[in-house]
Amino acid sequence: MPLPPIALDELPRSFVGRPDLEGLWQRLSAGQTDFTAAERLQITLAEARADERAGRIADSTERARHVLEAARQSGDAAGMGGALAQLGYLQFRLGHYAEAAALAVEALARVRHHPEAVTALHVQGLSALATHDWTRAEERFRRAADLSRQIGYPLGLSLALHNLALIHEYRGQFDLALAAAAESLRLSESFGHRHWAYPVVRTSVCQTTGRRAEARQALSDLAELAVPGSLVACLYHGFSAQLALDEDDLERAEAELDVARPDAVRLGDPVAHYLLWLVTSRLRRLQGDAPAALQWASENLAELRRVGHRGFECHALVELARAEWALGHHPAAEAGLQAALELASALGSAYVAAQATFLLAALRHALGQPAAEAAWLDAAQRIQSGGYGFILERERALAFPLLAAQARGATPAARAAAETLIAQLARVAPLPLRIVGLGRFEVWQARRRIADREWKRRAGELLRFLLLQSGWAAEREAVLDGLWPDQPREAALAQLHQASSALRRSLEPDLPGKFPSRYLWVEADRLALRLPPGSAVDFERFEQEAAACIAQAEATGEAASEAAARLAEVLNLYQGELFPPDRFADWAQARRERLAELHLEGRLALARAQLAAGAPRVALENCRRLLAADPWREDAALTAMRACQALGDRPGALRVFQELERALRHDLKLAPRADLRALAKAMRLGG
């Protein structure tokens, strides 16, 4: 029984980038029904592609088979080529790479200079990529790009560039992968198409290389393209879980994986299975459940070997070895890492080879094996030549002790390699910081809060002092004068040395003694904080955004309501005075007062905007909060009186005026200004 047509709004992406089908789509979207038999087959193929995007693999397969049979009966070569190419892609999605390649060959026998021939070339290339024939894969993708240019098929060219980006990523050429993917995106946007391929590559590369802020943005882009239950949705949740693990948020990672695993099983897609099972093994390992981690890693490797996806197999071998290591199965862990190294080397995957070699060096060092130094020298060379210094940050629990030990190594070569990598590590951004200074003092590294006990008095004081300086930097003399103005110079210098050392340890407790801090830069005459990309300081954000929102809140009508909502969100950042631990410190006083005044100005602007938007009750509440903090603020009293007036509460308005009058006369020996007195008089007279 034929499947029913799918909703029209699912089809546009099946036609975009296909100049040969533009007219057909225009007629279809206009509601026309007078199509030829060949055109009806093209519409069914478009529905098959939409089914595949939504994760309805069985439906897509049935539609494509229907097209193939009908096209064979009518002798429609384009229909046969398109159906065969689609069936080939679906077989690839299911991990049947030999079958996929064979269908692609058959499609190319039917069509040559046609968009469906480009699709067939992509299927051949993807199948070769999965089975580690990267040379053949690259040749097919380049042929697809050339043919797309010849026949004017922009979507085919965009996908060819994306697939070439995959080859670069597999080889560990991450900058080239990002460049090719970005070019693919630019091309696809030129004809109004947003494909999920670019954010997938960008997310994967940025996560691997530790560019978390960019990975988060790419994930946001991917979320907009993720149809629930589809491959894209599985990848989105898998990458989200991976990022959560990078930020020590195990609970969020578990939630993301729970959403995606059932769909991965239903889809039967090896890519989704690989990613989700890999991340689950890592999660279990970080949760301390090494036996469960081993089970997930073993199942992942078995599935990849079943379908023959060699490119992912070396990653799976590394994770399996990590699980064996966590269980104390050191010979199995060493054998697994050696197998991963050999496979990655055979495939030409330089990054995985460097990662496996580094882990081998760390394991052999931990076990005190004589071969540890040779592994270390090999790992150092691979990391340096590939530009993979981010491995040291990702594996800092292993890397920092290993670097420290090798810096004291028995041979000049080991020491030189350590010094080189220490310098390379200094250029790798550490975890971003989120600093809360309004109402309390907290420092978070990604999702992990640095415990209060880590903030010894001098460390926290120095950090807070530097945060208030322009560019988070200060001359040494300014620090001494600000923090220890009454102490002799030698004593103040000793305090500064202790404070900088304590701050360094608080931010990077695993960092060996002589390593340069990546958060705190200290020279003879200058100190500076280096906050990594993605860092945030709450009072700086409040300061930057509040002034703009206050100006916007002067709008009236519908705009007043929108401005009030934005301003209220910004004002919520102000959770109290700046740096409560330094309440009596002179160096914090001016900034604290400026922020407090900005908060009060924002409250007044919010109340005015709420009143203008027809919400006098909430406006009155904001005025009362403001007057509780500053009982002499006449503009707040005036707005409160007008809010009471709008509520029909003249006695309430007069009470506001009387309280203001009392506060001004008692505290400042002043009378309320003329407009307030005039409004109060009019209200007393019943106006």
Q: Which pair of tokens denotes residue 329?
A: 């199965």
CA–CA dist 251, 240 (Å, integer): 12
What confidence tier does 687 reach under pLDDT thresholds 50, 70, 90? low
CA–CA dist 659, 631 (Å, integer): 8
Mean pLDDT of 92-117: 94
| Burial annotation 427-463 (CB, 10 A radius, 16+ → b, else e) | ebbbbbbbbbbbbebebbbbbeebeeebbeebbbbbb
Give 318-373 pLDDT, tens digit per residue: 999 999 999 999 999 999 999 999 999 999 999 999 999 999 999 999 999 988 99
Q: Which pair of tokens denotes residue 340?
A: 């991963």
Mean pLDDT of 380-384: 95
CATH 1.25.40.10 fits 539-684, yes or no: yes
Give 625-657 pLDDT, tens digit per residue: 999 988 999 998 999 999 999 999 999 999 999
DSSP helix/strand/coil, 45: helix
Give 553-580 pLDDT, tens digit per residue: 775 544 567 777 888 899 999 999 999 9
Give 295-311 pLDDT, tens digit per residue: 999 999 999 999 999 88
What confidence tier does 1 reach under pLDDT thresholds 50, 70, 90? low
| Beta strand extents in 361-492 (DSSP E only) | 433-436, 442-445, 448-449, 473-475
Provide φ and ψ at 95, rounded to 5°: 85, 15
Q: Which residues contact 34 (CB under 8 A, 6 or more apart)?
A: none
DSSP type of residue 578: B
Residue 134 confidence (pLDDT) above 70? yes
What confidence tier does 2 reach under pLDDT thresholds 50, 70, 90? low
Give 513-551 pLDDT, tens digit per residue: 777 888 999 887 899 999 988 899 999 999 999 988 888
C-alpha distance from residue 211 to each of 107, 308, 451 (Å): 41, 31, 25
Q: Residue 48 region, left (φ>0) first, then alpha (ψ -120 to 50), else beta?
A: alpha
- Which amino acid does the sequence have at 142? R
What pLDDT sits at residue 17? 85
pTM: predicted TM-score of the whole model, two decimal places: 0.80
End-to-end CA distance of the chain: 79
Q: Check if 8-152 and 539-684 are the same fold.
A: yes
What confidence tier does 156 reach under pLDDT thresholds 50, 70, 90? very high
60-69, 185-194, 412-421: range with lowest mean pLDDT: 185-194
CA–CA dist 166, 197 (Å, integer): 10
CA–CA dist 680, 658 (Å, integer): 9
Q: Which CATH number describes the domain made up of 8-152?
A: 1.25.40.10
Mean pLDDT of 196-213: 90
- Which amino acid does the sequence have at 387? G
What pLDDT sits at residue 395? 92
CA–CA dist 52, 59 (Å, integer): 8
What pLDDT sits at residue 557? 47
Domain ranges of the chain: 8-152, 433-534, 539-684
Mean pLDDT of 14-35: 90
C-alpha distance from residue 580 to each of 56, 482, 572 (Å): 57, 17, 18
Residue 380 confidence (pLDDT) above 60? yes
Q: Which residues contact 537 (CB under 8 A, 6 or more apart)?
A: 435, 437, 467, 531
Across the chain, mean pLDDT equals 91
What pLDDT sits at residue 553? 76
Mean pLDDT of 242-271: 93
